[in-house]
Amino acid sequence: MVRHLCRVLVVLAAALAAGCAPKVSMDPPSPDGPRIANLEPRPSSVGAGCPLSLAFAFDAGGDEIVRAVSGWSQSLGRRGYVGRAILEVPPETFAGHARGEAVARIIPPRAGRYSYYVQVEDRAGRKSNVLETVVSVGGWWASGC
């Protein structure tokens, strides 16, 4: 009986924890679209309001990449936020390059645990796979930028 109760409590706790995490919706990848790999935050943790870079490798495939999009979710305790934004990647990063590395600068506004999801799109509207990385953002207690 005690063993069964423990299992039920573990399952219930897992379900509640998953239910509190904000969800990010990204577009499904195109089968013949561009591909990205090796998403890496630089640095891996920062203070709120400090700049952070998301670096990733890209392979444009058959057409030029024209846009990089990021979805993000942020959680701090029981609260959570989600959003999407066009990443500011210098145009010369993708122009005329079939493959390479792209770096986009972002500034997390609040403390918490952020999950960033990155996807690129080519000129024909085909979407890449989606990569995820996690960044810890400190609050007022963190050292300056």
Confidence of residue 2 (pLDDT cuts 50, 70, 90): very low
- Single-letter amino acid code for the residue at 43: P
Long-range residue pairs from 95-101, CB within 8 A, at least 24 positions apart, any chain: 95/64, 96/64, 97/60, 98/59, 98/60, 99/57, 99/58, 99/59, 99/60, 100/57, 100/58, 101/55, 101/56, 101/57, 101/58
- What's the predicted TM-score (pTM) here? 0.80
Average pLDDT over residues 72-76: 86
Q: Which residues of 112-132 are buried (b: 16+ CB within 10 A; e: fewer)?
A: bebbbbbbbbbeeebbbbbbe
Which domains does the chain possess? Answer: 23-138 (2.60.40.650)
How high is the pLDDT of residue 22?
63
Confidence of residue 77 (pLDDT cuts 50, 70, 90): confident
In tens, the pLDDT along 21-65 reads 568 889 999 999 999 999 999 998 899 999 999 999 999 988 999
Confidence of residue 4 (pLDDT cuts 50, 70, 90): very low
How high is the pLDDT of residue 145?
78
